[in-house]
A = this chain, B = another copy of it.
Amino acid sequence: MRTVVVYSGGLDSTVLLAHLLAEGREVHALTIHYGQRHAREIESARAVCAHYGVEHRVADLRALGAIFGSNSLTNTAVDVAEGHYTEESMKTTVVPNRNMILLAVAAARAIALKADTLAYAAHSGDHTIYPDCRPEFADAMDHAIGLADWHKVRLERPMVNWSKSDIVRRGAELGVPFALTWSCYKGGAKHCGRCGTCVERREAFRLAGIADPTEYADDAPAA
């Protein structure tokens, strides 16, 4: 089975990549670069794909920035919120219709490769404050993607019922090179250890009972 994976270089999509490879699939990774501040993620994506010998492409959508509203991931003037995600701090990270654009471009890649499926790393911890993280949105996109070409591609979310610590546990089973992955929204030399995704990353390792190999700039244990 041939599958295109929406691949960010982060923890979740790296475990998804390894999980699908372990199923014996032919995996093609696609990273969407839409001008997010943490381009650092893309270096991680390349490193992980090289590790697994997986074909990897980057779709450069940075020129789209002009039509997105101001938000903290594309506008460096807005501070990245620290600590656990709250409704308010998460709203600042929303790029309008980001997931549809991402899935539309990834579906194009899947159609070009005559892939059977397009997979992405939605999981049970995804915050439904994002309307385009809701299952009904994913179902609608699956339907639309299936109609977009005579070659029918199925949209799948293999980890949709997994928690973030389930993902870490599965990654550990599969020997995923966690240290190569990138989560931090601040995009410095090391993970900051304090932003929303760093806090979630640390917590997932802790709850999974797996040693966290990540180097954090702020190495104090999470409060």
Binding site for B on A (CB under 8 A): 30, 33, 39, 42, 46, 49, 55-64, 66-69, 72, 75-78, 80, 82, 95-101, 103-105, 107-109, 111-112, 131-132, 134, 136-137, 140-141, 143-145, 147-150
Whether the Cβ atoms of A77 and B97 lie closer than 8 Å is: no
| Residue in B56, B61, B68 whose beta carbon sits within 8 Å of that of A112 in the complex | B68
Please tell me how many copies of the chain the complex holds.
2
A109 partner residues in chain B, CB cutoff 8 A = 67-68, 96
If A59-B64, A137-B147, A144-B140 touch, whether A104 touches B108 (CB-CB below 8 Å) is no
For this complex, 10 residue pairs linking A to B, each with C-beta atoms less than 8 Å apart, are A33-B80, A57-B66, A57-B75, A61-B64, A97-B108, A97-B111, A100-B108, A134-B147, A137-B144, A143-B143
If A39-B80, A58-B77, A78-B57 touch, whether A67 touches B112 (CB-CB below 8 Å) is yes
